[in-house]
Structure 1
Amino acid sequence: MHAILAAAIEVVILALNLYWYVVLAAVVVSWLVAFGIVNTYNSTVRTLLTVLSRLTEPVLRPLRRVLPDLGSVDLSPIVLWLVLYFLIRVLEQLRFSIAF
């Protein structure tokens, strides 16, 4: 039973790590668009923006409501990264305590 629970926790950790990189990709692509390096008239870029937005906005939107408005600076991805980091570390400790 412990092995199954440890494996399930490992899958959740993997998903959270993957989501961390999805948020990073969304931030980088939004910067590339904001600085005019990539053009949103390109269908591939537009599709990538749409996919990343649909994956990240449901989590970032509530954070933006709570965080103060700093103009063009969006702190919500940083807060989300900190939350993900904390969750991953807690789950790793839990997995370690279950395994031994």
Structure 2
Amino acid sequence: MLSLFQILMLILDVVWFIIIVHVIMSWLINFQVLNLNQQLVAQIWYGLNRLVEPLYRPVRKILPPMSGLDLAPLVVLIGVYALRIILANNIGYFV
């Protein structure tokens, strides 16, 4: 069962990393450091959006519109971190 705990923690780490990369890439695109006309950048951006949109969509339904400020990634990151804490505090059930 300890393996299950480690796999769950690894999945949460990967989700955390993907969200951070998505946020940083969105900033770089908005500040025109990266250009979506470049094929590689567009493919990475499209792939990241397909990965994170299922996580953001339920959060965006709950959060009120904030006129250009998207807090969904922050809420999802807090949720991922909360899940890590819950798993870490209940490691006794996995051993």
Which category of TM-score, normalised to the shorter sequence, fits these structures? Answer: over 0.9
Residue by residue over 1:51-80, the C-alpha shift from the partner in whole angstroms, topping out at 9 and shown as x without a partner, is 100110011011111101101110000000
- Partners of 1:48 and 1:76 in 2: CA distance: 20
Which residue of structure 1 aligns with residue 15 of structure 2? 19
Residue by residue over 1:17-43, the C-alpha shift from the partner in whole angstroms, topping out at 9 and shown as x without a partner, is 110010010111111111111100000
Which residue of structure 2 aligns with residue 56 of structure 1? 52
- Partners of 1:71 and 1:57 in 2: CA distance: 19
User: Which structure 1 residue ranges, 5 or more long, are not aligned?
Assistant: none
Q: How many residues align?
A: 95
Check whether the contact 2:5–2:94 (CA below 8 A) recurs between aligned residues.
no
What's the TM-score once normalised by structure 2's chain length? 0.94
Distance 1:99 1:16, change over 3 A: closer
Among 73, 76, 80, the residue aligned to 2:76: 80
Which residue of structure 2 aligns with residue 31 of structure 1? 27
Instruction: Work out the percentage of aligned pairs sharing the same amino acid.
Output: 28
Larger-gyration structure (1/2): 1
Alignment partner of 1:23: what SS?
helix
Give 2:12's aligned amino acid.
L
Distance 1:86 1:44, change over 3 A: same
Q: Which runs of 4+ in 1 moved over 3 A?
A: none
What's the TM-score once normalised by structure 1's chain length? 0.89
Which residue of structure 1 aligns with residue 93 of structure 2? 98
User: Which structure 2 residue ranges, 5 or more long, are not aligned?
Assistant: none
1:10 paired with 2:1, answer no
Give 2:84's aligned amino acid.
I
Indicate the RMSD between aligned Cα atoms, in angstroms. Answer: 1.2
Alignment partner of 2:11: what SS?
helix
- Partners of 1:81 and 1:38 in 2: CA distance: 24
